[in-house]
Structure 1
Amino acid sequence: MAAGGPSRALLTRMSRQQVAVERARRAFLTGRTRPLDYRIRQLKSLQRCLEERQADIVTALKKDLHKSEQGTALFEIYGVQGEILLVINKLSDWAAPRPVEKNLLGISDQVYIQPEPLGVVLIIGAWNYPWAVTIQPLVGAIAAGNAAVVKPSEVGVHTAKVMEDLLPLYLDKEMYPVVTGGVPETQELLKQRFDHIFYTGNSTVGKVVMEAASCHLTPVTLELGGKSPCYIDSSCDLTITCRRIAWGKFSNCGQTCIAPDYILCDPAIQDRVVEELRKAVKEFYTDDPRSCVDYGRIINQRHFKRIMAMMEDSTLAFGGENDESQCYIAPTVLKDVKPGAKVMQEEIFGPLLPIIPVSSVDEALRFINEREKPLVLYIFSPDPKLIKRMVAETSSGGVLANDCLVHFSVSTLPFGGVGNSGMGAYHGKYSFDQLSHMRGCLIKSLSMEGVNKMRYPPHTAKKMDWVRYFLLSQMTVSLLGKLVLLPLLFLIVAVGLQRFFQ
């Protein structure tokens, strides 16, 4: 192998996945991602791609998911553009050394955390919001100074092709290659050594990714999903509540990892909830959602059949109309659903909304806590005490009260799961931190060697007394560390010790 990289003969024997990873690593080792100017240029180029090629992105998503131009802009483009602008404005602050509190012995030292790039990151995207959930991690990888191999989901065929064609036109093609393909290509990628793997998808594949990463001790971020519960307090304004739930559930035809998966409510309000949901669906998608430009389609027939099978043992409240040839399933609400029903056994990821009657908040909490930790807990209530109680007595990746989905757009909040719904978090600074190594740095002087005599053998009783004194002094520093004169006091003590041990 030549010093500059693998030979041509070796490259011909490698798979295209190996070649992409090898070239990305060689590009990273040149050090050109280190300067912030380089990272910002790449981010601005990515921003330009989203602006100049929006029509191509819209066309591909229309073919894959029947997304409208407005829906694509709202859910796919604007959020990523906002993320890029935020990163460009904040990058110099995030990448700067971060001073930390010193102890007494280190009072004259430089002590700080230096964020640095990890290396080569693998980003495996999802098909439901392919630009949002693939490009946002890429923004974080670029900002942190990494190389990144981008693997779009093969399920969104047209979007994967557009991503493969467009990104190399705007980004450093050696540093940020796009690798397409299905399961065999993904498996080959996972055999390679990466410095971080960022996967968005389901928990079954998440386990495969984590197992593959363990071979190289590669850290992972897993953005998964699960059955996010939605509790409705009986004292809610049900018209507003159900409008917001309907929007959160039926956007993108229910194919949203943070969609409310099921409703928990008192049996006394179930019929009103059904009626208000029916009104909201009509308001959003007309009497004929099939002909509404803003209502999507199921990604393929395999998922269509999976979703339809979920309804078999539940009572239909409204909806249920479908057309397999168009992968169309109408917005559908199921009522009086039993915990053991098929629709409650896995994440729905489609336009079915089960309602499970519960007699009290206590029963709702038990129901939630007996299951895997969800990606989001939704609570609808005008009562702050009830909201705080549900937050305190449950665990989930995030919590959103009195609305749906919108927490995803808040870059100052970490977005991610817990337990079965994922590990790690991203968005804004959290993306930068997630894809950086936080390197602890301590820079000492070669002077004042006398102070160090207390740690050197022989370990006499006198030295141990001074060690104990320093430990107790450190506790005092923690309590009084904000006093302006303390640094001067430490210096006087250090000089005194220096003389004592000479």
Structure 2
Amino acid sequence: MFDVPTKALESTVVSVIPTLPQSIVDTQEVLNIMRRQDQFFASGMTLSEEFRRAQLFKLRKAVEKHEGNLIQAFAKDLRKSATEAYFAEIGVTLAEIRHALQHLRGWMKPERSATPMALAPARSEIRREPLGRCLILSPWNYPLLLNITPLVAALAAGNVVVLKPSELAPAMSAAIREMLQDTFPPELVTVLEGGVEMSRMLLAERWDLICFTGGTEVGRSVAQAAAKHLTPCILELGGKSPCLVSRTADLSVAARRIVWGKFLNAGQTCLAPDYILADESIHDALVATLREEILLRFGSEPLNHAQLPRIINQRHFLRLQKMLTPGSVIHGGRSDAEALLIEPTLVAAEDRSAAAMREEIFGPILPILKVKNMADAKTFVKAGEKPLALYLFTADRSEQEDILGSISFGGGCINDVLVHAGNRGLPFGGVGESGMGAYHGRHGFEAFSHRKAIVRNNTLIDVPLRYGPWGRFKDKAFRLFLN
């Protein structure tokens, strides 16, 4: 139903500002893009529901049209199967767009707010307005999902966007650039490819919002750059997300879900369980069940499994290899350096000094630590930084409430892993070292918007109380109304 308005809006976009060159070669080109995006945003074109809805429809059609190219790029960069590429990225992205289209009108409506009696007869409301020119810096591990999901939020909120995909997934970066270049005028959405120098160039400039997904150390640099211009940030970082397995857990279900969540995308998932804290009474049984599950899903020769994703590059492959210290491997451990493959691997760890416990793993290696009980597991987690996610497998409701109420973490699941990020009604984000801000669904719309407070008064009634000069009567009246 928006085909005609979409075409009309496209022609208006082109007439407002000349088309930009597609080859970005130096700082001046980037500055030109930013200037023209500012001009386009100032034109007010992005403010209407009709315009925003039209862009979301175009984005949905673009993802559907380019699905084949995207799947090929996933295979080239990460060796992802077509099925995994669809259910973990393409399908989730399309669902995010559909959700935004379904709820956009409600999100944009002014929100009534209570007005204190002292301000009567005024009425109060909150209006959302777009922030302006936004920068999205995205990683390589889920290159479509983590580029397009924040873009959906930015467009729904009425912003203009510069998007920089990761250079570590070059095929996906090129596919995303081609898809968005064919879909949007660069005054609205521009994709800039490049490495560290491009990121530094972009971060040196002023933005109205920066959304970054990646590692904690780079996140610090992004926050420092943003602070120079007082630019707000959404930082989706990572950390060591624990998985606690209680003596009351259903071990077969726990093992099945942990293996799925940990080894999806070869463990290169910021929300993946980074290590297991297992109650000593079920530790050995859990390890045995995890082994059985890995064999069931990947076979006895996982390196020959056609659907085993690869490690993104040699640097990360070598980093992961150093975590496999002699005597620590209790299952798996084999690798193929030429193909950048590491089979799903379980390792034993005593404490945080173990090689696999010193940093976020981001690969198919899963340390398992034995604890006396969940109280000890809680103490262990709280001694570290606040994680992006926490997972608890237990049938004990009081144990669930104790862990949820006493440990700070970004988000998580009881008796499952990862799936909380698939609920668009829940905010996705970290806390402390694992990030700041959150998005997905309405939370993304809010993150890319400014909440503007408005009081509507009339001129028919003008209570003289607030006007000077002051006296004893007005003093008593103020105390009455303001307490």
TM-score range, shorter chain: over 0.9
Matches within 5 A, 1:62-81: 62-81=75-94
Secondary structure class of the residue paired with 2:161 = strand
Structure 2 unaligned regions, length at least 5: 1-15
* Pairing 1:262–2:300 present: no
Indicate the RMSD between aligned Cα atoms, in angstroms: 1.8
The corresponding residue for 2:479 is 468
Aligned-pair CA distance for 1:16 = 2.9
Secondary structure class of the residue paired with 2:182 = helix
The corresponding residue for 1:85 is 98
Partner Cα separation in structure 2 for residue 302 and residue 329 of structure 1: 13
* Pairing 1:97–2:120 present: no
Structure 2 residue identity aligned to 1:467: F
Aligned-pair CA distance for 1:7 = 12
2:20–2:186 contact (8 Å) kept in structure 1: no
Matches within 5 A, 1:373-392: 373-392=386-405
The corresponding residue for 1:430 is 443
* Pairing 1:127–2:140 present: yes
Aligned-pair CA distance for 1:6 = 13
Partner Cα separation in structure 1 for residue 317 and residue 125 of structure 2: 53
TM-score with structure 1 setting the length: 0.90
Partner Cα separation in structure 1 for residue 318 and residue 40 of structure 2: 45
The corresponding residue for 1:284 is 297
2:210–2:226 contact (8 Å) kept in structure 1: yes
Secondary structure class of the residue paired with 1:15 = helix
The corresponding residue for 2:214 is 201
Q: Any idea what the Cα deviations from partners look like across 1:43-97, whole Å, max 9, x if unmatched?
A: 1111011111101000001011100000000000111111111111111110111
1:120–1:148 contact (8 Å) kept in structure 2: yes
Aligned-pair CA distance for 1:161 = 0.8
Aligned-pair CA distance for 1:172 = 2.9
Q: Does the C-alpha gap of structure 1 residues 12 and 309 become closer, same or farther in structure 2, counting only changes over 3 Å?
A: closer
1:200–1:224 contact (8 Å) kept in structure 2: yes
1:42 to 43, 46, 55: 55
The corresponding residue for 1:181 is 194
Q: Any idea what the Cα deviations from partners look like across 1:314-371, whole Å, max 9, x if unmatched?
A: 6110101001111110000002433211211110000000001111212111100000
Structure 1 residue identity aligned to 2:476: D
1:339–1:356 contact (8 Å) kept in structure 2: no
Partner Cα separation in structure 2 for residue 52 and residue 4 of structure 1: 27
Aligned-pair CA distance for 1:445 = 1.5
Partner Cα separation in structure 1 for residue 25 and residue 321 of structure 2: 46
2:204 to 182, 187, 191: 191
2:19–2:185 contact (8 Å) kept in structure 1: no
2:237–2:435 contact (8 Å) kept in structure 1: yes
Matches within 5 A, 1:449-488: 449=462, 452-472=463-483
Structure 2 residue identity aligned to 1:469: L
Moved more, 151-160 or 99-108: 99-108
Percent identity (aligned): 38
Partner Cα separation in structure 1 for residue 37 and residue 265 of structure 2: 34
Aligned-pair CA distance for 1:269 = 2.3
2:421 to 395, 399, 408: 408
Aligned-pair CA distance for 1:467 = 1.3
Q: Any idea what the Cα deviations from partners look like across 1:377-425, whole Å, max 9, x if unmatched?
A: 1000011111111011110001211011111110011110000000001
Secondary structure class of the residue paired with 2:140 = coil
Partner Cα separation in structure 2 for residue 404 and residue 172 of structure 1: 39
Moved more, 359-368 or 413-422: 359-368
Partner Cα separation in structure 2 for residue 320 and residue 439 of structure 1: 55
The corresponding residue for 2:407 is 394
* Pairing 1:116–2:129 present: yes
Matches within 5 A, 1:134-153: 134-153=147-166
2:386–2:431 contact (8 Å) kept in structure 1: yes
Partner Cα separation in structure 2 for residue 14 and residue 242 of structure 1: 51
Q: Does the C-alpha gap of structure 1 residues 5 and 295 become closer, same or farther in structure 2, counting only changes over 3 Å?
A: closer
Matches within 5 A, 1:217-366: 217-312=230-325, 315-366=328-379
* Pairing 1:155–2:168 present: yes
* Pairing 1:421–2:437 present: no
Partner Cα separation in structure 2 for residue 254 and residue 223 of structure 1: 17
Aligned-pair CA distance for 1:266 = 2.3
1:376–1:399 contact (8 Å) kept in structure 2: yes
Q: Any idea what the Cα deviations from partners look like across 1:173-195, whole Å, max 9, x if unmatched?
A: 22100011000000000011100
Partner Cα separation in structure 2 for residue 204 and residue 339 of structure 1: 19
Aligned residues, how many? 466
TM-score with structure 2 setting the length: 0.93
Partner Cα separation in structure 1 for residue 99 and residue 316 of structure 2: 36
The corresponding residue for 2:3 is none
Partner Cα separation in structure 2 for residue 163 and residue 24 of structure 1: 20
Partner Cα separation in structure 2 for residue 4 and residue 230 of structure 1: 52
Structure 2 residue identity aligned to 1:456: Y
Aligned-pair CA distance for 1:267 = 2.8
Aligned-pair CA distance for 1:446 = 2.1
The corresponding residue for 2:7 is none
Q: Does the C-alpha gap of structure 1 residues 314 and 340 become closer, same or farther in structure 2, counting only changes over 3 Å?
A: farther
The corresponding residue for 1:371 is 384
The corresponding residue for 1:31 is 44
* Pairing 1:19–2:41 present: no
Q: Any idea what the Cα deviations from partners look like across 1:464-495, whole Å, max 9, x if unmatched?
A: 111122224xxxxxxxxxxxxxxxxxxxxxxx
Partner Cα separation in structure 1 for residue 364 and residue 245 of structure 2: 19
Larger Rg: 1
Q: Any idea what the Cα deviations from partners look like across 1:209-247, whole Å, max 9, x if unmatched?
A: 000001110000000010000000112221111111000
Q: Any idea what the Cα deviations from partners look like across 1:225-283, whole Å, max 9, x if unmatched?
A: 10000000112221111111000100000000000000001233222212111111122
Secondary structure class of the residue paired with 2:57 = helix
